[in-house]
Amino acid sequence: MVKEGKDDHLPTPTSSNNARSNKKGRYLLYAILVPCFVLGAFVSSRSNYPSFVEWGTKINQAVSRCHQNTDNAAGVCVQARVLYPQSSKNAEVWTEFGKLLETDAFKTLAIDKLSGLIQIPSESYDNMPPPGEDPRWETMGQVHDYLARAFPLIHKTLSLTKINTYGLLYEWTGTDSSLKPYILAAHQDVVPVNPETIGAWTYPPYSGFFDGINIWGRGATDDKASLAAIMLTLETLLEKGWTPARMVVLAFGFDEEASGLHGAGSLGKALEETYGQNAFEFIVDEGGGFDEAYGTVFAAPAVAEKGYIDVKIDVTSPGGHSSVPPPHTTIGYLSSLITEFEKNPYPIELTRGSVPHDTLLCAASYGQTIPRDLKHAILKSRHSDKAMRKVEELFVLSNIWYASLVGTTQAVDIISGGVKANALPESASAILNHRINTESSIKETTTRDGHTIADLVYSFNLTLNAFGEDLIPASAYASKAMGHVELSLAFNDEREPAPRTPTTGKHWEFLSGTIKATYNAHRGLEGEDNIIISPGMSTGNTGFTDTKYYWNLTRNIFRYNHNNGTSAGVHTVNENIALDHYLEMVRFFTTLIVNADEADF
């Protein structure tokens, strides 16, 4: 969600300034229209033109239209109603669970469950071979043993299938087989802890230490809190004798931090083979949370993800002794190509109907302190291209995080070449990483990459093959080419932008109402709009969630775990989560599961 503060480069005016701005604008408008009004009255007394009263009516209508065009947010970011459990059975268990969350005994239990899970160093690494071929996978077995001990009722009641050794697939059979099931997803693995940083941790990274406020350790936020919250919710519901009408499926991958190929990749295939395509109502996995922006609390479930591709740039040219160098070595050619890419970034153009634009519309509609000129521009951008460019100028281009949401990004992350100081390198290479705009595609990205460097390659008298196409063949030159440039897919891990989850209809209303009910209940609030639900998305697609392997299972994929945005240390030192935030996640999953039983999908 758009965050207010130093990073957005947007001053926030006071309400009195806004009021003065409104008055000035209205005075100016009347200064222009009142003479017309007087003239109209004079003319109407001598002709058949509209009457004095009719002219006054037209002026008021003009003033009204002027302000409607800039301030009217009707029909924008429409909010669902708060969704509380309705049946006596579900309302009773939900209320009891809510009271239980506030007891010291349950808090101690919740801390112990998450702390024990954190203490297992279930790290996953890039490019690991399949399970069974690397002993580092064996920590996942420790996770399985722990879950069996910590949640005995789940393992007694639910069916469990292990996929590709360490993927966990639980099934809680419902009493009504006519209802489509849904999936709650999480991952067991964590990002490795760099041994050089251990001394910088306030508490050891695998201690699971509770300091009275926060639970510390790798995975506390990403993603063991979600996994523990899901399991603790189900275990508690089983203790209370509650059974679902709608089947609940749990899918826990084990290498999400390393792209999910072995874990969710195998789970997705197994789920599709067992249940079929589009067999689930919805999926909830880790993702967006909630935070305050512009004086309003927004929740931003991610409903889209950018695409992903790694492009390898290979340059080859004749070697030789470095005492007799050519004008450009292979590394020199490669450096120039990298510079050419960086001189030609992908355009940052906010588009109507995209998730980033929808997010801004929600901010403009409900942000209490959003600057007035930005609000006007955002609301007008629904119909005006000029206003859309104004939004880019006021906000997008000055906010590096938001700009990365809007366009396709490019970053050279790996480079190699040369073996000795006195030998000219015959080859050099680099990896160019792209996160692809949700409005674009892999094909569009690779095509642009080839064309971006074609002129420069030609000026160096080099040949160019881009993704199997000879853009500059050897025949383009009268003399022999000085070398060759090859663009190719680096790791065969490319992925198109994710299908967008609908943000209208029953499933979105269900999730929105559940978030609102959770937020209200955790704070003892009443009312409808204490928290505003906005579409959201992440800046990347690999490693963000395992859901990239679940696209065939449902249209309704919600990347959201109801975590307060203030949690710290994700993928770095001092990862921790506040106990209260973790307990609210438990409340969210409780509300979600009970509400899903009553949902009319």
- Where b means 16+ CB within 10 Å and e means fewer, 266-305 reads bbbebbbeebeeebbbbbbbbbbbbbbbbebbbbbbbbbb
The helix (H) or strand (E) run that includes residue 557 is strand 557-564
* C-alpha to C-alpha distance for 25 and 31, rounded to whole angstroms: 10
- Where b means 16+ CB within 10 Å and e means fewer, 69-93 reads eeeeeeeebebbebbbbeeeebeeb
- Where b means 16+ CB within 10 Å and e means fewer, 361-387 reads bbbbbbbeebbeebbbbbbbbbeeeeb
Residue whose pair of structure tokens reads 């029909």 in the numeric block: 75
- Give which of 309, 311, 289, 292 is closest to 300, Cα–Cα: 289
* C-alpha to C-alpha distance for 500 and 356, rounded to whole angstroms: 12
Q: At what angle do helices 52-71 and 15-44 cross, to 10 degrees?
A: 150
CA atoms within 13 A on the CB side of 244: 29
* C-alpha to C-alpha distance for 74 and 77, rounded to whole angstroms: 9
Question: 262 labelled as ligand-binding?
Answer: no
Active site residue 189: yes
Of 256, 286, 305, 494, the catalytic one is 256
Radius of gyration of the CA atoms of the chain, in A: 29
Residue 72 token pair: 């009217």
283, 547 Cβ separation under 8 angstroms? yes
Angle CA 369–373–376, to nearest 5: 95
- Give which of 260, 117, 237, 110 is closest to 185, Cα–Cα: 260
- Give which of 477, 484, 508 is closest to 79, Cα–Cα: 508
Q: How many helices (H) and strands (E) does the chain have?
A: 16, 20
Length of the chain: 601
Question: 222 labelled as ligand-binding?
Answer: yes
What is residue 193's DSSP assignment? P
The full DSSP string for 389-429 is HHHIIIIITT-HHHHHHHS-EEEEEEEEE-S-TTEE-SEEE
What is residue 466's DSSP assignment? E
Question: Is residue 535 helix, strand or coil?
Answer: coil
Distances (CA, A) of 140 to 135, 136, 270, 296, 360: 10, 9, 19, 41, 41
Peptide bond between residue 223 and the one before it cis (omega within 30 degrees of 0):
yes
User: Residue 585 pairs with which residues in a beta bridge?
Assistant: none
Q: What is the residue type of 433?
A: N
Question: 451 labelled as ligand-binding?
Answer: no
* C-alpha to C-alpha distance for 445 and 433, rounded to whole angstroms: 11
118, 206 Cβ separation under 8 angstroms? yes
308, 408 Cβ separation under 8 angstroms? no
Beta strand extents in 255-363 (DSSP E only)? 283-293, 296-299, 302-304, 307-316, 320-321
Question: 571 labelled as ligand-binding?
Answer: yes
Of 4, 189, 575, 584, the catalytic one is 189
Question: 285 labelled as ligand-binding?
Answer: yes
| Enzyme catalytic residues | 189, 256
